[in-house]
Amino acid sequence: MSNILIIKHGSLGDIAQACGAIQDISENHPNDQIHLLTTKPYYDLFKKNPNISNVILDKRLSKLNLIYLYSLMKEIKKHSFFKVFDLQNSSRTSFYKKILFPKAGKEIWSSTETTLPKESTKQDFDKNSVLERFDYQLKNSGVNTYNTTKPDFSWSITDISKIKNYYELDNYIALFPFCSPHLISKKWPYYNDLISMINEKLENKFKVVIAPGPNEIKEAPRINALCILDNGKALNISQLAALIKDSSFVVANDTGPAHMTAHLGSKGVSLFGAHTTAHKVSIERENFKAIQVSDLSKLSAEKVFERLIRSLSEN
């Protein structure tokens, strides 16, 4: 039995997307121990993943923090990893490679860098969609891929029956109108208009809910929807996954909850402006689609509502 390391730091959307790749790595190494290096927001979450034996915390402190760097490298080295799958493919993980396996090729350290197609630059390769890149990387590292391009995030779900009973949730539509302050270009401005249409035209058949993150709770009162919390705190990722899974429909900006919805198999739509394309971030699935426009301020609530109605009418 050998030890295999997977590196995946985040973000939330990236975590959901990587599930298929992690599953394929695990299934290709049935007799090995699969360890995963991740950051604090996802440490407890990944402990629930059935494809992972052990989770290692990376606090991602400064590379100049030599005491921390030494302790992390010592922790990694003690497992004598036979192979490393770098699914983060960042400058930080490239730095780790230079310390741990400086001369290793794809046989030992699988990454975009070590599996890059001939006559292709990383800049050109990164134009492909996220899941296409994962698939290429793993196939060129000797992994048979069955799940990489169709991630399943359902392992993350926990029981939220108490929360649903408290808020009397039965049929509901979940909205995710928030985004990081530095990514304001991702934010669609007409959620309240959409809520009015849902309530009026669907005659209050559905409750409209939001589930703000810890840094979004103060902004939540600006949205005219039922705010779902757990004893005054933001839902954790597993609770959020369950809320999304049980929803009738999701409308979201291009953020983590949108990617969760896509890979939970739930119905919904994500709204894209000019910041990127739905194809590049691999978000469209059988039940989850995207509306792509050049300017989100010009995407009307009527158009989003039409997409919602059309999807709800489909079996």
**pLDDT of amino acid 149:** 97
Output the six-digit token pair for 275: 């910041």
Residue listed under structure tokens 């134009």: 127
Give yes or no for a cis peptide into 11 (omega within 30° of 0): yes
Burial of 152 (C-beta count, 10 Å sphere; 0-12/13-18/19+): middle
The secondary structure element, H or E, covering residue 195 is helix 191-201
What is the residue-level pLDDT of the chain in tens, covering all 315 positions? 899 999 999 899 999 999 999 999 999 999 999 999 999 999 999 999 999 999 999 999 999 999 999 999 999 999 999 999 999 999 999 999 999 999 999 999 999 999 998 888 888 888 889 999 999 999 999 999 999 999 999 999 999 999 999 999 999 999 999 987 777 788 999 999 999 999 999 988 999 999 999 999 999 999 999 999 999 999 999 999 999 999 999 999 999 999 999 999 999 999 999 888 999 999 999 999 999 999 999 999 999 999 999 999 886
**14, 59, 58, 68: which is closest to 36 by C-alpha?**
58
CA distances from 116 to 22, 40, 91, 125, 147 (A): 20, 30, 15, 7, 21
Write the secondary structure of 153-165 as one string of H (helix), E (strand) and C (coil): CHHHCCCCHHHHH
Q: Rounded to an integer, what distance in angstroms lies between the CA atom of residue 150 and that of residue 285?
A: 8
**pLDDT of amino acid 257:** 97
Amino acid letter for position 267? K
Q: Rounded to an integer, what distance in angstroms lies between the CA atom of residue 241 and that of residue 235?
A: 9
**pLDDT of amino acid 315:** 62
**pLDDT of amino acid 248:** 97
Q: Catalogue all structural domains in the chain, each as residue range(s) with its CATH number.
A: 3-152 (3.40.50.2000), 155-313 (3.40.50.2000)
